[in-house]
Amino acid sequence: MAGAVTNRVIDVVDPNIVLDEVDIDRILARIDPDDLLARVDLNALVDRLDLNAVLDRVDPNALLDRVDANALLDRVDPNMLLARVDPNALLDRVNPNALLDQVDINRLMARVDVDALLAQADIEDLVRRSGVPEIVASSTTHMLGSLIDVVRRQLAGLDTIVHRTIDRLLRREPDVERLGPPELRPATIDDAASGRVAVTGRYAGPFSRLLAAGIDLVIASVVFTLSVAGLNILTSTFFDAQISSDRAGFWGVLSWSVWLFLYCWASFTIAGRTPGMALVGIRVVNTQGHPLGPWAALVRTLVLPLSAMVFGLGLLMALPHPQHRTLHDLAAHTVVVYDWGDRPAELPGPLSAYVSRHAEV
């Protein structure tokens, strides 16, 4: 009966009129929010929420418009952000080909200031670190050395032809002693790696020695002339005097002779060869293959002019001599051998093949 009355009352009551009469503010003022939240079951409330429906009603554009990007970035810790970045994984996801395809090389190069770039570059240091000077120096040295070796081979070949011709004229068989001094002989019996016959340490012949003497005369003459000219400049400047450069007079012959003596003696004592001999590739040693001492160099230098006297018979005696020794070689107990320094002295290719076939040098 009570239920029926309640339903009839509800049917008669107009909810709009009732709500209009309700003072919402007074009701809310009497509500304790803390007590209300304490009595709310949040888990049950969340379970009853339809998240998809909520997200559908969210306007992301309006949400982003209300975000203060600067304030958001101010609260970001870049160090912590970078610490959590895996660079390897990041680079693995980068497509370098696609990245390069998007680069405009022409525009990039157009923005490069080449003059400013070169102005900041240390060209000398760059060239020095690249090794270009060493390469050029090595190439030049190698080319010059190869050119000199070609001339030396031809001279050694001519010497060998002269030796063999004289052997045939004198009906003389090759002798092992003609290979060179005992100290140098191990280096003379092996062929060079190039296939040419090596003659390092063997007795030098007339063509090599004659050319070396000619080069030495040119060098000594040039140095002597320049020295006299230099002394003339000094004496005319400080003493108002001139030194005669005429070599026909007594003092000219004397000074020229003294200079030639010093030139030869110092060269034999210090290096065992004159500059001309060094260019040709021959060296003076004693009969055992050891370097000359000052005394042997002195005797050889003093007797050298005597070898040239009487139509040069002291020099010509080297042709028939088995060890190609001249008068001054016999007096000083010396011999002249082939020596190209760190490279083997060689005969020309065709002559090497001929010598190898006949097995005698």
Per-residue pLDDT tens digits for 114-154: 777 777 777 776 666 665 565 555 555 567 777 888 899 99
8 A C-beta contact, residue 197 and residue 361: yes
Q: What pLDDT band is residue 268 in, cutting at 50, 70 and 90? A: very high
Distance CA 184, CA 196 (A): 19
What are 31-40's pLDDT values in tens digits? 777 777 777 7
Run of H or E including 284: strand 282-286
Return the closest-CA partner of residue 233 out of 259, 256, 258, 225: 225
Amino acid at 50: D
173-206 pLDDT per residue, tens: 665 445 677 667 544 444 555 667 888 888 999 9
Distance from C-alpha of 277 to C-alpha of 345, rounded to nearest angstrom: 13
Residue 200: helix, strand or coil by DSSP?
coil
Of the listed ranges 32-46, 255-269, 277-291, the least confidently predicted one is: 32-46
Q: Are 242 and 236 within 8 A, CB to CB? A: yes
The answer to whether the CB of 312 falls within 8 A of the CB of 157 is no
**What is the model's pLDDT at position 219?**
96
Return the minimum-mean-pLDDT range out of 14-23, 320-329, 348-357: 14-23
Position 220 scores a pLDDT of 94
Rounded to whole angstroms, how far apart are CA atoms 336 and 276?
13
Look at residues 318, 325, 357 and name the one whose alpha carbon lies nearest to residue 166: 318
Question: Quick check: helix, strand or coil at residue 308?
Answer: helix
**Tens digits of per-residue pLDDT, 87-98?**
888 888 888 888
Share of the chain above pLDDT 90, in %: 24
pLDDT at 113 over 70: yes
Whether residue 161 has pLDDT greater than 50? yes
